[in-house]
Structure 1
Amino acid sequence: MTARNEPARMLVVWCPDWPAVAAIAVAGAAPAGPAAVFSANRVVACTEAARAGGVRRGLRRREAESRCPGLAVFAADGGRDARLFENVAQAVEDLVVGLEVVRPGLLAVPVAGAAGYYGGEHRLAERLLDRVAADAGVECQIGVSEGLFAAILAARRGVFVEPGQAAEFLATLPITELDQPGADRAELVGLLVRLGLRTLGAFAALGERDVTARFGRDGVLAHRLARGRSDRPPLRRRPPPELSLTEAFDPPLARVDVAAFLAKSLGARFHATLAARGLACTRLGVYATTEHGEQLGRVWRCAEPLTPQGVADRVRWQCEGWLQAAPGARPSAGVTRLQLVPEETVEGRSLQLGLWRGGDPASGADPDEATERAGRAFARVQGLLGPDGVCTPLFDGGRDPAARIRLVPWGDSREPVTPPEATWPGRLPSPSPATVLDPPLPVQVEDEQGRPVGCTSRKRLTAPPHRLRVAGGPPRRITAWAGPWPVTSGRRATGPHQARLQLLLGGEGDAPPEAVLALCSGTESPQWMVEGRYD
């Protein structure tokens, strides 16, 4: 296992100035006019026309209005932004699975499978741009890179970063890019600027130990981003089912104000359950079931571990997005069941360094055309049948042929659970059968006098095998055999009368000669099973 920390390749869809776009849409104002959204009397978002008039983020309202006469002023409203952004998320989800909403106006999807299905990253981006414009009526930009941070900055510039070039892409960007909305890194960025670190590349050149000693946990996270790596360890344990929070509603939940009230208590309970185990949520799944059985779901990705208020906000935003969607897109009945699932968790009070996960074998760096076509077909079938509907075999460690082959869902990590080359006492000698039967085929094995052949407690046959008979079929003559080999599990045998043999069956009639692997159990009433066939 390597120590590298390679983030997954992500595609980010970014709707510029989304708070302002959403506010204008709700108010019915002119979309091309100057407008700005304010929070605590400061600009948090503005349109291109407002920027042309001198308005910038962080300006006080009085100064913004003095710079740009005729500026339309709106108050910040996270619920409004999330509600309208649901249309964009739905348009993207119609084409790509695995969508994660980073915040209203910004969403990310893993690019490997979807790009293979649509014929490449650029074709996928073209489809997404057309679908969002047609279904949601808004313009967006798309960027692709390794890691969410680099992909976000690529989307803001509308570029596709070549695989393995994320660090080079980030190196020339200003250090102020670390202070993304919701990250709360203004103080850290100000300190780095005062120290003379003006670019991400200059910050990335520092040693990780020096960064840890000088800037602490927040500095380590930012340093990872500047180096083009994941901001968190990419391999996290799967949360146990009991950490999920499920709430039933009677009568059904159909009003936004009721959803906002309940979201606060749900967020506090959800966060308390995780905190009691020393965990924090970084990817939150919100799943709902309506009175008519409709299934709704959305995953929210978070730059920092969620606080109780952060959980409540996302639950409230998502409920608003579902309940106030456009006619035809909203559910036909109220919500009767709401479930919060911690899709990804990290330690609540510590940061683990240097954790690594292998890459996706379905997204090789330079696959040939046949592999790409196969990957697109697998992804399409997997979308119809589910993640476990398409599996590929993996050679793993074990004693018998069935145990040495493990089926892995397409796109999952193909790391062996146990080393195939490790020493396994009692392993069946080579060659292994080309076909492993599941389930095994029951047969009868007889000696030359027609008596059943069994296996003694010393793992020896009671007589030389002469004929093999399948139920309902003619007998096959055994021309040669090898074994028996005891069936063991660790240092002890699994049973006192169990062994395997390789049998060579002669050709009779239309049946050609055939070699099989057979398992014998018992002496008095022996049971035989054909487990595999050799080519």
Structure 2
Amino acid sequence: MRTLVLWCPDWPVRAALPDLPRDVPGAVMDGGQVLACNHAARVEGVRRGMRRRDAQARCPELALADHRPEVEARAFEEVLLGVEELSPAVTPLRPGLCALPVPARFYGGEEEAAAVVAERVVSLAVWDVRLGVADGLFAAEQAARRAVPQGVHVVEPGADAAFLAPLPVETLEAPEVVSLLRRMGLTTLAHLAALPASDVHTRFGTHGALLHRLASGQDPRLLARREVPPELGGILTLEPPVSSSETVAFSLRSVAERFVARLADHGLVCTALGIEVEVDDQVASTRRWVHPRWFGAVDVVDRVRWQLQGGPLPGPVGAVRLVPESVAPVGEHAPALFGPGGRGAATAQEDDRVERGIARVQGLVGHEGVLAARVQGGRSPSARRLLAPWGEQTQPARAVGAPWPGSVPPPAPATVYASPRPAQVVGPGDRVVGVDGRGAISCAPVRFRAAGDEDWRPVASWAGPWPVDELWWDEAAARRVARFQVVGVDGTAWLMVVENGTWWTEARYD
């Protein structure tokens, strides 16, 4: 069976910035580096792996978004469902990339089948889709990467090895192995394929042996058809259509209960719910709701009521459709003994009221309009702050438990300024306190002016410095700072930072 690979270039950018015009540069950041960028950004000189500062220096109008794998996977699910309408044996490889056996006999040929698949994906508003056909999965993926937009590159049967031979070894996406191969003078897949398989296995192990087989056009991997998710949604049809939101909500109760029960039968709970409201057989209102734990029947009814009350509809409601956009095993969200987190029933009820209130506000201002703060790794208080849409389980970009040399010890300051504010710190004889390259201070602080102060304050106590020498290998992004904790005689405590002899106030301890 021949293999067809479907590739949507720059998928992280499309998923994170769905409303971005094609001619506007955009990029997705991960750990302060460019993970992916669109064609408009590449024209301006932005490249994958480039640091944020360098990318913005080359393209000041660059639109940025954080890497959110769950958003990419959820957006690609629509593409997978569309392709499954044509061929059920779809294998998702990663968001933006999937494979399936070529349904050539059904559509009259490989190019004809690829054209039908491309047309289906384009109908989902994904204009840049490329397809490749080959004997093996690896060769088909490389063929897709060499196709034109909405086109297909077909490798003739038995010609995988010849097609792969001139490609560079970087195609294997194995940096450690590729680096060694380059030092050995092996620059193309043909060079690697020419080595004896036993020698490659001895030097590189099982992983190297797999790379050798891929370079030789002998891909041993088989397509694993994904399990088509069960129909877990729910629908309420109203005959005749109803104008009252309360009547619609009352009629929806039994549908919501069956919706939740059907998920429970599969050991699942819904954490993100899509609600579509139809008027005259047309979708008149659609919204995505997120729950910090999971949706019960009452939660579903509430969201429908709030959505109907949020704005006028063009006519009476004829149908309401419930779509579970994100589900999770029930074991991950099971309540603890005596209520959530082991607390009492009264506390659990208070939490429910708070969560319902926040959810209603989120429904009015949008999913990205209500943010929850979490802690991630970092040296400065601002770097440790992570803001994510309320209810969404966003993974921190930097691990909290990792060592962070130069970070200020706890407790953390209560007020962190969005941008540092000017400050002054002097020692005896009004000498400005400085810190040399070895972290030694020029003199002890005697008095200071914090953010917004007009008068000087005597120093009661101080601690520090905590020097940080960041990105010293990057001349453009390098930064050397030192942080101090300073307490005034009036009891106020501040976190201050000195950089290049200039003092700033970063935060205040309340």
Which TM-score tier does this pair reach, normalised by the shorter chain? 0.3 to 0.5
TM-score when normalising by structure 1:
0.43
Higher relative contact order (CA 8 A, sep 6+): 1
